[in-house]
Every structure is written in C-alpha cells, then in structure tokens.
Amino acid sequence: MVNKAVKATISSLRDYISYDDEPDESYRILRRIKTPYQKIAVVKLKNGKVLIYGDGYVMFGTTEDDNIWAEAMVHIPMAVAKKRRRILMIGGGGGITTREVLRYRKVKEITVVDIDSVMMKLGKKLKPLVKFNKGALNNRKVRTVIKDGRAYVEKNRKKWDAIIIDIPEPSHDAPGLRRLFSKEFYRLLKRRLAPGGAVTIACSTLSIMPEYHSSIVATLKAAGFHVLPYHIDVMKKYGEDWGFVVAARRRLSPRRIRLRVPTRFLKSAKLKKIFTIPRKYRRKWRRWKIQTDRNHVLANIHERH
C-alpha cells in the first residue's frame, strides 16, 4: 500500500511533470518553480539533455527535436517574407527560435515577447540552454519584453517583416490564450505586418488533432489572410506529425518558396511534401471552426484529445 506521504509526493510531481509527458529514461528534477502563470520544472535527462516543462508538459529543451521545431517555425516565414529586418516573436522564451532568426545577416531587430519572466530568465541564464541557443536572448539585436503578447501588439504601432507565434494551445485551464489565436487578433496582426511580411503559427500536433490545425487555417482566412498550412512529419522518430501555418496578405505558392540559409533538417527538396496535408488527416481536417475572442473552439478540441 502506498502511504499518504508518497501519494502526496506523486501528486505534487504530476503538477510539474505529467504522466503522459514523463521522460522514458531516468531523469532528475533540477528545479521546480511556481510562477503567476504556470508551474515550471527544469529536468535533466540521463543523457545530459535538459527539458523545460510548463504545467506538466514539455515546452522546449536541448534536444534534436527542438532544433527541428525551430527550423520549421523560423525558416518558412523567413523564406516567404520579402524583407527580414524586423522580427516579432510571441513566445519562444527558450531562445531557440531566436537563435535561428539571428542566422539572417540582414536582421536588425528581434523583439521577443513572453508573459512569464521566469521562462525568459531560463533562456538567458540557464547554462545548458544558453549554450544550446548560443546566447540568442542576450544578443545586442534582441529586445526581450515581459508582457502578454496580445496586449503588446495592441499597444505597439510598429510593423514587422515576420511575426512568429510559438505558444501553448488554449485550454480550459488557460482560457485567456484563445485571444492569441482569435480572428480579432489575426486581424490586428495583419495591420502590424510590413508590406511583403509573413506570419507563422505553431498549430500543435496534426496527427492527434488535425481539426485544431484546420481551425487555425480557417480563422486566419476569416481574418483576411492568404495561408499555406504545412507540417513536419517526425512519426518515425517521435511518433508525431507537427502542424504549422504561414500566412501573408498576398497569395502564396509553395513552388515559389526558397530557403534562404542552409538548414540541417528542413530541406528544399522536401518543401513540396511539407506543404501537402496527408489524406489520412483530411476527414477531421474538414471539421474546422472559427476561433474568436469569445468562444472556446481550440480549447474544446484540445480537451477532447
């Protein structure tokens, strides 16, 4: 029989590392931090890699899949954008996507906005993470802002060549996140794009909830964007297929997209494939709905899965 103290310890652990997202290999918790926004765990794996958890689920880390994700998030919108001087990133407190943006020599200014100062501090000061992101958040071209992304964009009249949004899915535990996925917010982003600019949004796991991905696509279209959904199939390595979307105020064609810097995982020869949504997801893909400031479309989808 498990005594009460052990049960309490397990329950407390699950607040920081969910059963579903617990590492397969042995690990050690380096830090547990409760912030006004989430419960953060810094975890070191047996192989030396580090994972950062938020409310029980992996947010980012120093693993190969973080590199693949960062390339997918950054290099598609940077290929679509006609200029690459001023970049806005909402989320990305780990600095990994910022590292990729800094590979473009013409970038003059990167603004990274995160609501949680602790996440940003980890990206700036946690040694394994700073080594992995190459000190990106401490770079002179980078300005970090601790603020809600929606509030920042509403009050800031600047225009950006690329806007990269990498934040968690809205849920019933965090309903306010829907305001960063809504038609109203996307209309605002459209006004904040410089001519020829591009927006990209992380759309969770296509293989688990394709209707989540298609609902973001439909919401962007309702806001007046031209969109290209894309995905990164890592089923063999990680058992997942990741969804993304790139959007602009002009028509987009996959055939005209050319990567502008060398990449390790995202290859020009595979661009046609990543812009083709597999047939096996199409049935649920048709079940899209529009996310607004007032409804809970994406949270409801997330809850079902």
Predicted pLDDT at 1: 42
Task: Kindly state whether residues 163 and 294 are assigned to the same domain.
Answer: yes
Across-strand partners of 202?
244
Task: Kindly state whether residues 38 and 184 are assigned to the same domain.
Answer: no
Predicted pLDDT at 2: 40
Q: Which two tokens stand for residue 237?
A: 């390595």
Predicted pLDDT at 7: 39
Task: Kindly state whether residues 151 and 47 are assigned to the same domain.
Answer: no
Task: Write out the residue range of the structural domain in which residue 250 sits.
Answer: 64-304
Phi, psi dihedral angles at 188 (to 5 degrees): -65, -45
Task: Kindly state whether residues 30 and 101 are assigned to the same domain.
Answer: no
Across-strand partners of 142?
110
Across-strand partners of 205?
242
Task: Kindly state whether residues 71 and 36 are assigned to the same domain.
Answer: no
Predicted pLDDT at 4: 38
Task: Kindly state whether residues 281 and 233 are assigned to the same domain.
Answer: yes
- State which residues of the chain have pLDDT below 70: 1-11
Question: Per the structure, how many domains does the chain have?
Answer: 2
Task: Kindly state whether residues 291 and 209 are assigned to the same domain.
Answer: yes
Close Cβ partners of 42 (under 8 Å, ≥ 6 residues apart): 29, 30, 31, 32, 33, 50, 51, 52, 53, 122, 126
Task: Kindly state whether residues 197 and 175 are assigned to the same domain.
Answer: yes
